[in-house]
Structure formats: C-alpha cells, structure tokens
Amino acid sequence: MKEMYFPLRYRLSLFHLLLLIILLSVFSYAIFFGTKNYLIQNTAVSLRAQAKPVIEKWLHSGSGDTDYLKSNGRFLIENLGSRDTSVMILNASGKPMKPDGDFVLSEAAYYRQSLSGDNEVRYITEKNGSPSLVVLIPLRKVSDPSEVMGVVRLSTPLAPLERILARQKLILMAGIILTVFAGALIGFWITTVSLKELSTMVQTCNDIAGGNLTRRINLPRDNDEIGQLAKAFDNMITRIENLFTAQSRFVANAAHELRTPMAALQGSLEVLMRGAQDDRDSFLRLTRGMYREITRLSRMSEQLLDLTKIETSDVLHKTTIDVKKFIAEFVQYSQVIAEERTLVCDGESGLHITVDSDVLKQVLFNLTDNAIQHTESSGTIQFSWKLTGMDINIRVSDDGCGIDPASLPHIFDPFFRGDSSRSRVRGGTGLGLTIVKKLVELNGGRISADSISREGTVFTLVFPSSRI
Ligand SMILES: Nc1ncnc2c1ncn2[C@@H]1O[C@H](COP(=O)(O)OP(=O)(O)OP(=O)(O)O)[C@@H](O)[C@H]1O
Ligand SMILES: [Mg+2]
C-alpha cells in the first residue's frame, strides 16, 4: 500500500503544537490546584487563628470543664459566630449540643479524629450544592488539657474563594488558547520558512535526475544543517559533473584514437583491393603500415583494458619491499631495453614501502619506457630514492629532450602526447602516464613531474615509508 504523503512541515508543526498543549495544560493544572490548596489552607489557618483566643478566654472565664461546657457553651457559639462563620459544638460523644446544629453522619469520622486530640482536622462539605470549609478545634479541659471534652466546628462558605478560582481558571484557559494559537501560527511559519529550502532541494534533485547536471542548489548560507547539506550536495554534483565530463571526453578521445588507425587500415585495404598487391613495393609498404596500425590498435585496447581494470577492481597484493633491492633488480632487467643508455641507481639502504610489487614494476617500466623514448642513445636515466619526513621519494630522471611548459600540466591526461609526431611514429597512445598516475594513487602514493626543455625530466613518486 502506498504511504500517504504527509509533509514534514505539517508533522513538525503538529508535534510542536501537541507538545505546547501538553506542557501548558500540565503547568496550568499545577498552578490552578496549587492556588486552590493555598487559599483553602489560608482560610483554615485564619479561622483557627481567630477562634483560638476566643476559646481560651471563654474556657478561663469559668471552670473550663464538662459542666461549664454544658451550661455556657451557647456563649462560646455566640462569641465565635459571625456573618461568614457558622459555629457548632459537639460533645465528647460527637453529638451536636443544643441550641443548634444537626448531626451530619458523614462527618462522624472527622469528629472522632478531632475528639481523639488531633488539632488540625479540616475538610470540605457540600450543602445545597455550595461547598463550605469546616475546621474542627478540640475543646480541652482547663484542669487536664489532655482530655478533650468536646469539639468546636467552624464552617465558612467557599463561594468567594470559588469565585476567585473560577476567574483564575478563565484566565488560564484564555492564556492556553491564546498561546496555543500564537504558538501554532509562529511554529508553522518557522517550519515552513526553514523547510522551504528542502522543497527547493527536492526540485533541484529532480532536475538533476532528469539529466541537467549543471543545476545547483546554491544556498547563500551554510551556517546550519540545511545550508551544509545543500553545500555538500552541490559539491557532490560538481564532482559527478566533472567525472561525467571527463568520462565523455575520454570516450570521445578513445573513439577518435581508434578511428585514425581504422581509417588508415581501411585506406590501405582499399588500395590493395584495387590491385596494388601486384606491385611488390607498394604491397610491402601497405602491409607494413597495416601491421603498425594493428599493433597500435592492440596496444591501445590493452591499455584501455588496463585502465578499466584499475578503475573497477581494487584488489591489490601489497607487500613490504626493500626499495634499494627492488629498484636494483628492476634496473638490471631494464638494461636490455635501454640499449646503450646509462642506468644509474642511487639511494639509502634499509628503506621500505608497502605496495603491490607488480604494480610498482609496471609504473617504473612505463616511466623508464618514456625516458628511453625521449633521451639520446648516449643519455643517462637515473633512479634515486630518499626518506623525506614520513615519506619515501623515488625519482626517475633523464637528461633527454624534456617537456615544454605548456604540455607539462597535461601529461597525465588520457591520450595526451606532447611531441605527437615522435610518439605516433613509435605507436604511443598517450595512455601510459594516465595508467601510471592511477596505479600510484591506488597504492596510496602520489606522482608529480618536473621538466626543463632540452635538459631533462624528473618524475617523483611519493609513498608512505613502512618501518620493519
Ligand atoms: N621522460 C619524458 N621526457 C619527455 N617527455 C615525456 C617524458 N615522459 C612523458 N613525456 C611526454 O608526455 C606524453 C605522455 O606520455 P605517456 O606515457 O602518457 O604517453 P606516450 O608515451 O606518448 O604513449 P604510451 O601510451 O605508449 O605510453 C608523451 O607523449 C611525451 O610527450
Ligand atoms: Mg609512455
């Protein structure tokens, strides 16, 4: 089942609103009941405070015992009573004393509690739908204060207090409604504004997915998560676009490079088919040319395959090798192809690097092959290495024709051939250094080139040093 589309800004606003309602309700509840308790407590305290001296005075104006209570209780009722306070006296068995007061059965437990000596009994009763606060004060004998001979029941209506509370409830409700309303509006506005950029990003992503790799989000700021996401996204698309352009250029160059020998082959074959095979010299010239082009084609396809292999596989068989031993062996093996050129080895012993030795051999071979191609037969090719900080620098230098400054930045580009006539004559494809660079980087190293025209070229490989 397809999930319902529920925009993030609605979800966030709803969540924010719910949170606001819950928090406000909890706080309002706490405030309302806190105030209610405080007001009731206050009323009870002031009732007691007013009654206490009157009771004391009454007790000490007579014998202060049970008989005194029976005969003079009504004076106490008169003295304690007021417009807001009604008074009732209960005897030691919890029965209301004449002249007034009806026994309220539901309050019997409170009476017993007070008669047992508890000074703090208070509760709320309801009569005809209006609540009253009742405070019970035990009456103690003057001769023996531990003996409770009766209880004074003071009650005051809570209607005024209820009115205050009702007003407070109203204010709190209005506050909640206003805050929730304002909070909802502001919250929705903030989330909409902040998330609007996400909608722009979605639109841009769709455009890019539709094939327009030049599109960017281009948010003017990057000081928050959305800005940083947009920046990271733009950087990623720039990289993809560059890779895409490089890939297209590579394919176009490869097609072009393949077309040239193909056209040469086709031309030669057409001439042969028109009868040139009868002329021995032409036949030899054409077939030699065809052979050269076919060799070039197969070399190029091998190199292209090498490149794809490097890009698609990351399986390396790395081992730690002794640089001096490795290069000395390589130089010995290269002397055959270097012919009369002098190969020199120079560097410290005991330096090690961790690389795939077959890969390093291929790298050195390509560099040596280039050096051989670009030096006179009396020239010198030097291999040197040294420890620089934590790295080992391996240099392959020659005293050949060098590379002109305009070509130097491009020598690692695919199909780039500086001196194209020379390279083409020997069938070079311009992929050698591209492969070298990729192989070196795959092994965790870097490569750079320096050259002075007509004086020579130096290629420097840098690998992290391995300690044994
Ligand atoms: N040691 C060097 N001295 C002078 N020029 C060099 C040297 N090494 C490379 N170059 C220049 O850089 C270019 C690119 O070299 P690269 O090895 O990639 O291609 P290539 O040698 O022409 O062909 P191949 O793919 O067969 O190696 C060369 O055509 C050449 O102009
Ligand atoms: Mg080369």
17 and 127 share one domain: yes
Please check whether residue 188 lies inside any domain of the structure. Answer: no
**Residue written as token pair 């309602």:** 21
CATH number, domain at 27?
3.30.450.20
Please check whether residue 111 lies inside any domain of the structure. Answer: yes
Residue 100 has pLDDT above 70, yes or no: no
Please check whether residue 416 lies inside any domain of the structure. Answer: yes
389 and 439 share one domain: yes
453 and 388 share one domain: yes
345 and 434 share one domain: yes
Give the helix/strand (H/E) hosting 308.
Answer: helix 280-312
Number of structural domains the chain divides into: 3
What single DSSP character describes residue 459? E
* Cα gap 168→4, rounded to integer Å: 43
Q: Which ligand is nearest to the CA of 369?
A: 2
Tokens of 25: 């309700």
Q: What's the Cα-to-Cα distance from 433 to each of 286, 428, 447, rounded to whole Å?
A: 31, 11, 10
- The pLDDT confidence band at residue 323, using thresholds 50, 70 and 90, is very high
300 and 440 share one domain: no
Question: Is residue 1 helix, strand or coil?
Answer: coil
Torsion sign over Cα 118, 119, 124, 125: positive
The pLDDT, as a whole number, for residue 383 is 97
The pLDDT, as a whole number, for residue 424 is 57
Residues with Cβ within 8 Å of 85's Cβ and at least 6 positions away in sequence, in order, are 47, 154, 155, 156
Q: Which ligand is nearest to the CA of 303?
A: 1
The pLDDT, as a whole number, for residue 72 is 87
Within 6 Å (CB) of ligand 1, which residues are found?
303, 370-371, 374, 398, 400-403, 411, 416-419, 423, 428-433, 457
Closest ligand 1 atom to 375 CA: 3
CATH number, domain at 240?
1.10.287.130
* Cα gap 159→242, rounded to integer Å: 81
Which residues, chain by chain, have CB under 5 Å from ion ligand 2?
Answer: 370, 432
* Domain limit, last residue, from 261, 279, 313: 313
Which residues pair with residue 369 across a beta bridge?
Answer: none
Closest ligand 1 atom to 426 CA: 26
Across the chain, what does the average pLDDT equal?
89
452 and 345 share one domain: yes
How many whole angstroms from 287 Cα to the centroid of ligand 1? 27
Which residues pair with residue 28 across a beta bridge?
Answer: none
How many whole angstroms from 167 Cα to the centroid of ligand 1? 93
Mutate to test the pocket of ligand 1, among 370, 415, 434 (most ligand atoms within 8 A of CB): 370
How many whole angstroms from 349 Cα to the centroid of ligand 2? 29
pLDDT tens by residue, 250-308: 889 889 888 988 999 999 999 988 887 778 888 899 999 999 999 989 988 988 888 88
388 and 266 share one domain: no
Query: Who wins on pLDDT, 51 or 279?
Result: 51
Question: In sequence order, what DSSP letters do the residues of 433-455 get, joined into one string?
Answer: HHHHHHHHHHTT-EEEEEEETTT
Please check whether residue 202 lies inside any domain of the structure. Answer: no
How many whole angstroms from 418 Cα to the centroid of ligand 1? 7
How many whole angstroms from 432 Cα to the centroid of ligand 2? 4
The pLDDT, as a whole number, for residue 454 is 87
Say what the pTM is: 0.60
27 and 140 share one domain: yes
Please check whether residue 389 lies inside any domain of the structure. Answer: yes
How many whole angstroms from 296 Cα to the centroid of ligand 1? 15
> H helices within 210-224, ranges in order?
none
369 and 303 share one domain: no
Q: Which ligand is nearest to the CA of 422?
A: 1
- The pLDDT confidence band at residue 347, using thresholds 50, 70 and 90, is very high
137 and 278 share one domain: no
The pLDDT, as a whole number, for residue 98 is 64
Please check whether residue 193 lies inside any domain of the structure. Answer: no
Which domain does 240 fall in, by range?
Answer: 214-313
* Domain limit, last residue, from 285, 313, 341: 313
pLDDT tens by residue, 210-222: 989 899 988 887 7
Confirm if 122 and 134 have CB atoms less than 8 A apart.
yes
CATH number, domain at 345?
3.30.565.10
Please check whether residue 435 lies inside any domain of the structure. Answer: yes
* Domain limit, last residue, from 251, 285, 313: 313
Residue 156 has pLDDT above 80, yes or no: yes
156 and 228 share one domain: no
The pLDDT, as a whole number, for residue 373 is 92
Q: Which ligand is nearest to the CA of 418?
A: 1
Confirm if 401 and 374 have CB atoms less than 8 A apart.
yes
Please check whether residue 30 lies inside any domain of the structure. Answer: yes
356 and 307 share one domain: no
Which residue puts its alpha carbon closest to atom 26 of ligand 1? 428
The pLDDT, as a whole number, for residue 1 is 55
How many whole angstroms from 430 Cα to the centroid of ligand 2? 6
